[in-house]
Amino acid sequence: MKVVHKFCLNLDHRPQEIAMPKSAVPHLIAMQAFLVCMWAVVETGAPITKRRFIVAATGQVVDGRHVGSCLDRAFVWHVFELEGDG
């Protein structure tokens, strides 16, 4: 069965490990209560792994696969998934 789960990220431009299934598919990045949050479709019962993400401001050097962006008043934050071991 598929469900939507929320995962929150810090605004510090450092790699962050999030425990989620490898098969989870992020669909929305948005601000909620001053946090960058990512909503992903997750298969219930799928094995959990640690995936690495980074939040970057516009103009910062980035790496990885772009997942999405969101508005935060005058700022735009961009979420990238990092591949491999950090």
What domain range includes position 48? Answer: 2-82
Taking residues 7-35, report their average pLDDT.
Answer: 94
- Round the average pLDDT of the chain to a whole number and report it: 94
Domains: count for the chain: 1
Query: Rounded to whole angstroms, how far apart are CA atoms 16 and 37?
Result: 13
Taking residues 46-57, report their average pLDDT.
Answer: 96
How many angstroms from the chain centroid is the CA of residue 37? Answer: 7
Stated pTM of the model: 0.90
